[in-house]
């Protein structure tokens, strides 16, 4: 069952009715996520728009890739959605939400609540004029853009990420990712699979300093066509999940933390659906 088409009746507020968008959150999903997003009371006098509709506006932008000023008129004004999004990001509500969703998904797959192994990788997003000085040349990918460094568990669920100029080497980011992974899991991770960009003493020692052993997974010397790499295909699938969110098709953000934030938002949207079978049993 989805939340009421007449949004105002659902929230007891004077809000015009509208037709649902495919990106709208369902009733069951909203019941789970609302406590994380409520930074002040829903009936606070300064609130002009239902919190659920502000979140739906953010989901619409993340999924469709539209500019803020092209927000449909039957959703809250783009200024309100943008401001609320920045408040959510500043409060790290999506990081907290993702941590709990990851545990639920893992328990639903008969895994331990925290992983012991992760996969590290990066992708380069093509720059736009908004990228500014962060845009730089990635010699390996032959494009100008920003690089998103990602750490996921063996189910492909997000553990840590950060954004750098595309010229920055993957091996230089291992220490930061490893530290973030251990902080997110309570230092349960002992193994990380990486690609050939993370070979050498520097990344190995950086990971070892956080109690993680690196295992490099490389392409076979002789191959024909597409080759599915053991273990590393999981993080590539996660990048594929993100490519379905058009806001993440290119680097449209002026600030690196906003680009990181939209990745958190996209993972939240996907992981909410994956966690619903487990949430329904609680």
The answer to whether residue 127 is domain-embedded is yes
**118 and 243 belong to one structural domain:** yes
The answer to whether residue 270 is domain-embedded is no
Is residue 120 very low, low, confident or very high in pLDDT (cuts 50, 70, 90)?
Answer: very high
Backbone angles phi, psi at 188, to 5 degrees: -95, -15
135: which DSSP letter?
A: -
- Closest to 234 in 3D by CA, of 174, 151, 161, 177: 151
Task: Provide the whole-model pTM.
Answer: 0.87
The answer to whether residue 57 is domain-embedded is yes
The answer to whether residue 188 is domain-embedded is yes
What tokens does 97 get? Answer: 């939400």
Say what the pLDDT of residue 230 is.
67
User: 3-state SS of 236-259?
Assistant: HHHHHHHHCCHHHCCECCCCHHHH
pLDDT at 11 over 90: no
Range of the structural domain that residue 149 is part of: 112-220+228-251
- Last residue of one domain, picked from the residues 27, 60, 90: 90
**16 and 135 belong to one structural domain:** no
In this predicted model, what pLDDT tens digit does every residue of 143-163 receive, in sequence order? 898 999 999 999 999 999 999
- List Cβ<8 Å contacts ≥24 apart for 35-40: 36/93, 36/96, 36/97, 37/88, 37/93, 39/87, 39/88, 39/91, 39/93
In this predicted model, what pLDDT tens digit does every residue of 183-233 receive, in sequence order? 999 999 999 999 888 888 899 999 999 999 998 887 664 455 555 666 788
The answer to whether residue 280 is domain-embedded is no
Q: Give the whole-angstrom CA distance, residue 125 versus residue 127.
A: 6
pLDDT at 9 over 50: no
**117 and 245 belong to one structural domain:** yes
In this predicted model, what pLDDT tens digit does every residue of 220-271 receive, in sequence order? 644 555 556 667 889 989 999 999 999 999 999 998 999 999 999 999 999 9
What tokens does 33 get? Answer: 């996520």
pLDDT at 272 over 90: yes
Cα torsion 240, 147, 263, 219: sign: positive
Asked whether the beta carbons of 169 and 139 are under 8 A apart, the reply is no
Virtual CA dihedral for 188, 190, 276, 71, nearest 10 degrees? 100
**120 and 241 belong to one structural domain:** yes
**142 and 79 belong to one structural domain:** no
């Amino acid at each position: 069952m989805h939340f009421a088409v007449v949004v105002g009746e659902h929230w007891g507020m004077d809000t015009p009715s509208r037709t649902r968008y495919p990106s709208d959150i369902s009733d069951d999903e909203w019941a789970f996520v609302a406590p994380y997003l409520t930074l002040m009371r829903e009936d606070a006098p300064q609130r002009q728009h239902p919190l659920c509709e502000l979140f739906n506006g953010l989901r619409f932008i993340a999924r469709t890739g539209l500019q803020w000023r092209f927000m449909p008129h039957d959703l809250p004004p783009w200024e309100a959605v943008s401001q609320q999004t920045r408040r959510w990001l500043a409060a790290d509500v999506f990081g907290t939400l993702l941590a709990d969703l990851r545990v639920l998904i893992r328990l639903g797959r008969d895994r331990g609540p925290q992983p012991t192994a992760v996969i590290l990788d990066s992708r380069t997003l093509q720059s736009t004029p908004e990228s500014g000085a962060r845009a730089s040349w990635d010699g390996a990918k032959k494009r100008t853009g920003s690089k998103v460094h990602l750490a996921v568990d063996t189910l492909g669920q997000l553990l840590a990420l950060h954004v750098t100029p595309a010229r920055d080497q993957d091996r230089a980011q291992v220490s930061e990712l490893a530290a973030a992974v251990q902080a997110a899991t309570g230092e349960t991770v002992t193994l990380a699979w990486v690609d050939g960009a993370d070979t050498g003493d520097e990344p190995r020692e950086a990971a070892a300093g956080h109690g993680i052993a690196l295992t490099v997974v490389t392409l076979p010397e002789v191959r024909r066509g597409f080759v599915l790499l053991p273990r590393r295909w999981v993080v590539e699938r996660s990048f594929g999940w993100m490519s379905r969110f058009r806001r993440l098709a290119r680097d449209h953000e002026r600030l690196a933390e906003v680009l990181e934030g939209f990745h958190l938002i996209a993972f939240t949207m996907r992981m909410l659906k994956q966690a619903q079978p487990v949430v329904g049993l609680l």
